[in-house]
């Protein structure tokens, strides 16, 4: 399973050439194409994960481009940030938004009951817009911010721990190889 995930990420991971070919990015291409933004480091990878989760949850369109742009000032790994935005997709977005709405309603102190909408045609449009602006909008907005920030923090910590475990495993294998060779 890990091998399939790795192959999928290699196929879908944006390359430097992808960003070179985007014409409207040409004024800042020299910044996006800096080599340190494309290397995998113990600090840049967790930053990329956190940034990708944050952008993926908060920005509904052009997430990859925004993740790449926000990776510049945060010195995050561009491919990791862009790839992590795929945490939101057509299958995961509805549950994330429903959970964010639930979190927002709880934080705003709203009870479990829903707003009652008018049933006649004249007031239906006004009722829907009022319901969206008064009940759903603030709760969903606050919930999305909270879910994005908490998700980014958890993603950063998880990526840091996994990175350290991966490096420790590499060092352990290297040490065992030296012992076997008699060095």
pLDDT for position 121: 56
Per the CB < 8 A criterion, the answer to whether 118 and 124 are in contact is yes
Return per-residue pLDDT of the chain as tens, 183 residues: 667 877 877 777 667 677 777 777 777 777 777 767 777 888 888 999 999 999 999 988 888 888 888 888 888 888 888 888 988 888 888 899 889 988 988 888 876 555 554 455 556 666 666 666 667 788 888 999 999 999 999 999 999 999 888 888 888 888 887 777 765
Buried b (16+ CB within 10 A) or exposed e, 78-96: bbbbbbbbebbeeeeeeeb
C-alpha distances in angstroms, 118 versus 101, 115, 125, 133, 138?
22, 10, 9, 15, 21
Q: Where are the domains of the chain?
A: 2-181
pLDDT confidence of residue 145? 93
Residue tagged 């964010």 (tokens): 100
Structure token pair of residue 87: 């945490």
Q: How far apart are CA 28 and CA 71, in angstroms?
A: 13
Report pLDDT for 82.
Answer: 87
Provide the pLDDT for residue 122: 53
């Amino acid at each position: 399973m890990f091998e399939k995930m790795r192959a999928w990420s290699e196929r879908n991971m944006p390359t430097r050439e992808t960003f070179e070919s985007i014409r409207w990015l040409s004024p800042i291409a020299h910044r996006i194409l800096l080599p340190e933004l494309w290397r995998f480091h113990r600090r840049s990878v967790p930053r990329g994960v956190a940034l990708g989760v944050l952008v993926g949850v908060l920005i509904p369109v052009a997430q990859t481009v925004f993740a790449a742009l926000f990776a510049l000032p945060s010195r995050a790994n561009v491919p990791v940030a862009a790839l992590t935005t795929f945490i939101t997709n057509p299958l995961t977005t509805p549950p994330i938004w429903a959970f964010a709405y639930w979190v927002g309603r709880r934080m705003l102190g709203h009870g479990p009951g829903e707003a009652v909408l008018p049933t006649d045609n004249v007031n239906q449009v006004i009722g829907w817009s009022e319901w969206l602006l008064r009940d759903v909008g603030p709760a969903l907005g606050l919930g999305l911010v909270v879910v994005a920030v908490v998700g980014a923090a958890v993603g950063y910590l998880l990526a840091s721990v996994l990175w350290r475990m991966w490096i420790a495993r590499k060092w352990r294998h290297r040490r065992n190889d030296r012992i076997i060779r008699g060095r």
